[in-house]
Every structure is written in structure tokens, then in C-alpha cells.
Amino acid sequence: MSENKSNYGANNIQALEGLEAVRKRPGMYIGSTDTKGLHHLVWEVVDNSIDEHLAGHASHIDVIIQKDNSIKVSDNGRGIPTGMHEKLQKSALEVVMTVLHAGGKFDKDTYKVSGGLHGVGVSCVNALSSYLRAEVRRDGKVFAQEYSEGKPTMEVEQIGVAADSGTTITFLPDTEIFEVSEYKYDVLAARLRELAYLNSGLTLSLIDERNVDEDGNFKQEKFYSEGGLKEFVIFIDESKAPLISTPIHVIGKEENVEVEVAMQYNTSFSENIYSFVNNINTREGGTHVSGFRRAVNRVFSKYAEDNGLFSKLKFKVSGEDFREGLTAVVSVKVPEPQFKGQTKGELGNSEVNGIVSRAVGEVLGHYLEENPKDAKKIVDKVILAATARHAARKAREMVQRKNVLTGSGLPGKLSDCSSKDPNESEIYLVEGDSAGGTAKQGRDRTFQAILPLRGKILNVEKAMEHKIYENEEIKNLFTALGVSIEDKDGERILNIEKLRYHKIIIMCDADVDGSHIVTLILTFFFRYMRPLIEQGFIYIAAPPLYLISKGSKKVYCWNEDERKQVVEGMGGSDASGIKTQRYKGLGEMNASQLWETTMDPIARTLRQVTIEDANECDRVFSMLMGDEVPPRRKFIEENARYANIDI
């Protein structure tokens, strides 16, 4: 008799080794112990519920941030098995929760496709939590077990009856392990939204019990998508003008590998490819992305050549020209994915390249033949991209050749530091000549360089690449930093071997204009010098907003709450003799004040610019700096509490 493959029981759980070393070396298992690692715990638990959905058993997943920053994840799947595990002679629930590499993911009959392939997920979460409770609804009963630091504090017990099935995991991350303990609503919401698009028909909800409105309601959102990746692409591109009427949608299957791709062309100048394997975001791409790009290059080249659309071009079209203004989501479901590195950042399965290339090529070929007007629009954009890239290379070479011919090539406005060691050198990008002059007087010349930027630099989100090399402020940034953009294997790369400073500090006024300038500079770094952000070289200075003085006592304040506390401590706003100075700009501070508040390494506050989610950053930059007003207004309204308001 054939065995029922969907019968998920205790003996489907296979134990490979113990839980040792997780608490000693958490970074090996979850990447880090900072905010990224903290949120990674949630994804490990949610991944298990997603796998239940992929196996056809869960339709709802709820994530709750509780008041003490503990997390509760609940699904309506089959429920973790609770029966006795024959080999280990303990409940299968306890095995899953306490033994590393224990789970149904290693049994191909239980999960055909799984995201949490390494099987370390929930046991790692348990090991790194000061408290964890697992509740299982299964076979009409409710079972529970609690743990501390990965060790059971009670036996598996039946605590009630169940009308449905599923698993609820509640955990509190161990503050002795993690550097931070506060969960960010926006980070969790972005990932759950992503998962809803990747798994059409699945409902995910997020509730924040720390955030209650006037009516006593918790902050919460539901995420659900019927259209899947097509809707995902439209969401990503909401602040960009589409070039074609509707996204191109590819669904295919070959050799048990499922392929889904949605792609949309817009009028922007950047390529954005989001890639996933079994719902895991493969940030470094891999064979599925290579296959997609290969198909796009091949099909468009053939279509343009067959129709004589490249006949007037005097130079060759490269792969990146076909992808300028392209937003795509490439998602594959692979039974046995091979990832490069512990972080699962890049897919290595060679067979996936051809499978994706064939699936995309077939659909794209039909699309171009059936939609000649849209095809012509895309090819025209490709020709424009090739022409602009050719012009940009010439403009770039002019800037970089000029530096070589004129010696150091350093801009005249740069006040350099005496140190030539990039590790100890830092450069301040300062808003305006006035503040630049004050910064020059207040700095430590040994290791601090000053580059004043006149006004607002070019909004690179709206400019073609060759135009940026005509902008004086951007040329000064390239030459002062010592970096260059080079063409390698048809792709543009940033060469940072000669980077002159390992701290690049943006220092602008603490007002609306200053915030806009910071955003313009960050947009430039994100689009053209992203490795500087990824390697942690970019910082934002934090000048104070107020100087409160009473007699000889002076206190600087960086926000309104601090100001109120200081004034209260000095006797309240009605006391004789309290003076409040609101700094409208850096130029209002003298050199010594600027040094002691914003430039002195011992006392200053620097915020390092990081990219937790490059795709989300791309979406936000496009929305903030693009042409579409409604998405920007919505974003500002939702985040108004963070805005600097000048009255």
C-alpha cells in the first residue's frame, strides 16, 4: 500500500545534531546580534509557517509585537507533531524546539519546497530567547511547552481542546545576547508585505500592542495579494511612470522547479531586480537572476535586429542597456536549493539558469510579437540608454583624465587634512560656504577635511548619467574622495581602491532644507557610490537644535524633548534668566561650538548610514526624489512625526 505523503507525524522529524554553540556563536546562525539579527529571529519562525502554506496547509499567519517586545507568531497549519520520537524518546515538539538541524524540512515527503532549508531556525530562536512558549493545536487538542535559553522548563502538556489546527510560538529575545531589544514595526511590515506578494492567497497580519490609538486600538495591518508578483511590481513602481500598460507576467515549471517572474519598464534610469528562492530574498542574485537577464538580452536583441531597429546605432548595445528602467521580481521554488554562503544570499543551482531563461524567453518573445507598440517603446528606451551610456563614459573619462593630467586633481574648495591614512582620515561634506568656513576653523586639521557644497546638489534621480558629470559639486565629490566608475564586463563598477577617507560625514543644517540636501546627497551615494554605504563609510552628523543657558550654565539639546527636560531642570519656562537659542543653521555656531557639539570625536553623535533592505531603499528614494506627488505626500503624512518643522 502507498503511504499517505501528507501525513505529517513524529517520525517525519529527523534529528542531525545538538544545540551546542548557538548561544556562544549566535552570529554563525543568524548573521549578527544587532537589529538585523533581532529581526531575523522573527523570519525564522515565520518561515516555518510559510512552509506550511507552501505545503498546502496554512492560509493565515499572524505576527504580534507584544508590549515587552516579545513576539507571537501564529498559523493555522497542521501543527508541529507532538507524538513520541522513536529515536530520541521524547516528544517531537521538544526535538524540533531543542535540537539543531531537527525538522520536517529534511524529509522530502513532508515539504516539497522549503525556505528554512538549514533546519536551524526555530531551535536557534529558542536558544537565543530568555523565554519561549510553543503551543500546538493538533488532533483536537492543545499542547504546550515552555523553554528558557533553549532548555525545557516543563514537559509537553495537553492544556485544552482545539477546534482547529496550527502552531503558536511566543518568544522574548535574550538581552544578554542581543545589543538591541526593540522591534521595528516598519521592518516587520515590509517583509510581511513582501511575503504576501510572493504567496498569493496567503493572509498575513501584523499587530503592534506597544502602539495604541485614542480609541484603544492597536496599530495593525493586513497583507494579502491575489495577483502576486504582478501586484508586487506595481507596488514597487508606484512612484515611477510606467512605459508599458501592464506588467509582463511569466509562470512556468520544469523539472520540479517553479518559475514566476513579473517585469515592468518605467521611465527611470535604474534597473531593479528583486530575486527570491523559496521566499528567501537572494540579495546577491544567483543563477535564477543570470537566467532572467540572459533571456531579456537574447529576446530583445533578436527582436530589434529582426526588425532593423538598431540599424542607425554606431556602437554596440550592452546588456545593461536592455535593463535600464526595468523593474522585475524573479521568484523560483526549488526542491533542493544550493546557496552560496550561510546567509543564503546567492543561488548556486546551475540548472536553474536555463530553466528561468527558457521560461522568460518564451513568454517575452510572444509578448513582443503580440504588443508591437509596447515593444517599440521599450526598444526606443534601450537605444536611448545605449546612447546615454556612451555619452556618460566619455564625460566620465573627461573628469577622470583631467585629474590625472592636473596632478592631484583635488578641488580648490577642499581643505584637506594632513594625514594620508584613509583609516584615520574623515571628510565633512558641509552645506554652504559660510558653514564650511566655520568648520574649517573648528576642525582638527590632522585628520579632518572639509568640502563645502554650494546649495542643493543635482537630483540624480531625474538626471541622465552623463549630465551628472557636468555638475560641479558632483565632480568635486568624485575627485575629493578619489573614487572612479569603470566599465567591467559590460557592467559599471565603483573602484574604491584609492578612497582617501574612511569616514564621509554629511553635515547639514537641522532644518527642512538641510534634510532635503542630506536626501539629495544620499540619493547620489545610493545610485552611483553604493559600495561606500554598504561598507559603512557614510555618516550623518547630528548638530544640536538648541542652546539653553542660565547664567554661566550652558546645555545643548538635540530635540524638543531634551529642551523641555533641560528647561524644567533649570526651574521651568517661567524662571527669570533662561535663554533659548534655536540654531537655524550651522553658520550660527562659532568654530568652538561646532567642534564641541558636532565634530569632536569624543563628544559628537554620528549616525552611520546602512542599507538593511536595498530594494526598499530604492523604492523610497524613487518615491521621495521622483516626479509622482501622491506617493510622496502619503509617505510624508505617515512619517510626519519624524519631520523637522520650522515655524
Catalytic residues: 431, 509, 511, 513
In this structure, the strands spanning 141-148 and 129-138 are: antiparallel
Q: List, in sequence order, the alpha helices (H) in 55-167.
A: 92-98, 121-127
As given in the structure block, the three cell numbers for residue 549 are 543657558
DSSP secondary structure of 461-508: GGS-HHHHTT-HHHHHHHHHHT-EEEEETTEEEEE-TT---SEEEEE-
Residue 3 identity (one-letter amino acid) = E
Q: List, in sequence order, the alpha helices (H) in 217-371.
A: 229-236, 287-306, 319-322, 350-370
- Residue 70's contacts (CB-CB under 8 Å, 6 or more residues apart) are 131, 170, 171, 172, 173
Q: Which residue has the cell 556563536?
A: 25
Exposed e or buried b for every residue in 604-622, given b needs 16+ CB within 10 A?
Answer: bebeebeeebbbbbbbbbb
Q: Evaluate whether 122 touches 44 at the Cβ level (below 8 Å).
A: yes
Distance CA 197, CA 608 (A): 31
DSSP secondary structure of 65-86: E-TTS-EEEEE-SS----SEET
Sheet architecture: strand order including 248-254: 248-254, 257-265, 326-333, 272-277, 280-281
Distance CA 133, CA 151 (A): 11
